[in-house]
Amino acid sequence: MKNFSSNITIRLEPKCKFKKENTHYYIYGEIFALIKRLYIQTKRRPSMLISGIIQPLLWLILFGALFQNAPVSLLTSNTKYNSFLSPGIIIFTSFTGSINAGLPLMFDREFGFLNRLLISPLKSRDSLLISTVFFIVTITTGQTIFIMLFNTFMYKQNIQDIITITFILIINILITLSIASVSICLAFLLPGHIELLALILIINLPMLFSSTALAPLSFMPYWLQIIASINPLTYAIEIIRYLSNMTNLQNNKFIIQNVWINITFNHSIYLLILITILSITIVKNIISYKFE
Q: Which of 208, 213, 222, 233 is nearest to 258 (CA)?
A: 222
DSSP 257: E
Q: Reduce the DSSP state of residue 187 to 3 states and report it.
A: helix
- The per-residue pLDDT for range 5-38, each reduced to its tens digit, is 444 443 444 444 445 456 666 677 777 888 888 8
pLDDT score for 125: 67
pLDDT score for 2: 45
DSSP 291: T
Cα 57–228–133 angle (5° rounding)?
60
pTM greater than the 0.85 cutoff: no
pLDDT score for 37: 85
- The per-residue pLDDT for range 51-75, each reduced to its tens digit, is 878 888 888 888 777 777 666 556 6
What are the extents of the domains in the chain?
A: 2-290
Q: How confident is the model at residue 274 (pLDDT cuts 50, 70, 90)?
A: very high
pLDDT score for 7: 46
* pLDDT, mean of residues 99-117: 81
pLDDT score for 253: 66
Q: Which of 197, 196, 238 is nearest to 216 (CA)?
A: 238
